[in-house]
Amino acid sequence: MSTSISTATFSVTFYMFFEWLSVTFYTVFRWHTATFYKNGCR
């Protein structure tokens, strides 16, 4: 029982971490793209 509980906890933690990482990368990418276009040669 303890094993399945720790596995579930690990799965939830990993999912939350992966979701946070995706949001962070998306925000940074979007910010860099906006900065590039704002300072770019247009």
Q: What is the DSSP string of 1-24?
A: -HHHHHHHHHHHHHHHHHHHHHHH
pLDDT digits (tens, 9 = 90+) for 1-24: 567 889 999 999 999 999 999 999
Residue 22: the pLDDT is: 97
pLDDT digits (tens, 9 = 90+) for 18-41: 999 999 999 999 998 888 777 775
Name the more confident of 42 and 13: 13
d(CA 12, CA 5) in angstroms, rounded, equals 11
Residue 34: the pLDDT is: 87
